[in-house]
Amino acid sequence: MQKISYMLIFLLAFSFTAFAQAQYVGVKTCGMCHKKPEQGEQLKIWEGSAHANAFKTLQSEEANKIAAAKGLGKAAEEAACLKCHVSGHGVDAALLGSKFSMEDGVQCETCHGAGSEYKSKKVMEDHAASVAAGMKEYKDEAAIEAQCVSCHNEESPTYKEFKFKEMWDKIKHPVPAKG
């Protein structure tokens, strides 16, 4: 009987972890490690980008005028705007970690996937382990461009031709090779 109890506990624990989804941890969590020069200073690159201010853009009077012209309410409250101006929009609130804030705009996890399963230093030090834990991997620049144009496209009311190479040069943030 005791073996059956242990087996049931194991199966229940396994079923909860097997079906658990990764949580969004937010740029503050990612930035703890990705701010160092030896990591490539990704946080600094992001902070200097339009992505870091994407939600703030929606809070402007200009954004509200654009939204009104489309028959929408306040831009910072509209799903049509939020889907590209914040990370984590439209996901279950239970998947948003305590340090995550949509107000931080388009964060790391928009492109790299929810980070709770790959955020640890041990996992991040092993690229294959990071990918296995849910970090999105891009095989080449065409794959990166496909991610970018999921938002940078004609659906945006302020769309201008998206020049991937030019924009990518502003935001790319590789981890330097260890020498």
Query: Which DSSP letter does residue 94 get?
Result: G
Residue 10 domain-assigned (yes or no):
no
Residue 7 domain-assigned (yes or no):
no
Residue 141 domain-assigned (yes or no):
yes
Residue 135 domain-assigned (yes or no):
yes
Residue 13 domain-assigned (yes or no):
no
What's 70's domain CATH number?
Answer: 1.10.1130.10
Residue 12 domain-assigned (yes or no):
no
Task: Give the chain's domain count.
Answer: 1
Residue 46 domain-assigned (yes or no):
yes
Residue with tokens 């929810």: 114
Which tens digits make up the pLDDT trace of 18-73?
A: 456 999 999 999 999 999 998 899 999 999 999 999 999 999 999 999 999 999 99
Residue with tokens 């200073």: 41
Residue 66 domain-assigned (yes or no):
yes
Range of the domain at 57: 22-171
User: Is 78 a residue whose pLDDT tops 90?
Assistant: yes
Kindly write down the DSSP assignment for every residue of 20-71, as one continuous string.
Answer: PPPPB--HHHHHTTTTSGGGT-HHHHHHTSGGGGHHHHHTSHHHHHHHHHTT
Average pLDDT over residues 137-158: 96
pTM for the model stands at 0.84
Which tens digits make up the pLDDT trace of 90-133?
A: 999 999 999 999 999 999 999 999 999 999 999 999 999 999 99
